[in-house]
Amino acid sequence: MSTTPAAFNLRKPLYAFVADAAFIFLFIFIGTRNHDTDTDTAGVFSTAAPFLIGLIVSWCALRVWKAPNKVANGVGIWLITIVIGMLLRHFAFDRGTAGAFIVVATIFNAFTLVGWRFIAEQIADRRSSSIS
């Protein structure tokens, strides 16, 4: 059974977006558990909201669905998500943006949002070189 190219092209960006959102939720979940704050579902969602909004903006601004696994897109997603997430967190959601939080959020999200794409590109490169 073969899949149509359109179906495959639709799934790849969806999986990539879900992976990005899952990593943001993981970051928030770890933080809320470590600091014992907002550990209920509503608290996790309200804490994640500014970063999820930043994620959506980055996906739209960069049109990531065209190449969701590219490291370059991951870098753009990471930077836009962090900047917009921190600005929204501070100004719209009236939450803290301590220096240590900014550093931890930036590093964690760099490793996750860019990191999985780096691994995906390495695997794709190895597969293409072994086929050639």
Structural domain contains residue 10:
no
3-state secondary structure of 40: coil
In a domain, 6, yes or no: no
Q: What is the DSSP letter of 91?
A: I
Distance CA(106)–CA(78), nearest Å, equals 8
Q: Burial of 66 by CB count in 10 Å (0-12 exposed, 13-18 middle, 19+ buried)?
A: exposed
Whole-prediction pTM value?
0.88
Domain span at residue 31 reads: 15-131
Does 20 or 6 have the greater pLDDT score? 20
In a domain, 7, yes or no: no
R_g over Cα of the chain: 16
**Where do we find the tokens 């977006």?**
17
Tell me how far apart the alpha carbons of residues 37 and 41 are, in angstroms, rounded to a whole number: 11
pLDDT tier at 132, thresholds 50, 70, 90: low
pLDDT for res 29: 93
Mean pLDDT of 69-80: 97
For the segment 39-58, the average pLDDT, to the nearest whole number, is 94
In a domain, 8, yes or no: no
Residue 96 confidence class, pLDDT cut points 50, 70, 90? confident
Q: Is 103 within a domain?
A: yes
Structural domain contains residue 105: yes
Task: Output the average pLDDT for the chain.
Answer: 91
Is position 2 within any domain?
Answer: no
Q: How is residue 65 annotated by DSSP?
A: G
Per the domain annotation, does 83 fall within a domain? yes
- Report the domain count for the chain: 1
- Band (23; pLDDT cuts 50, 70, 90): very high
Mean pLDDT value of segment 112-118: 97
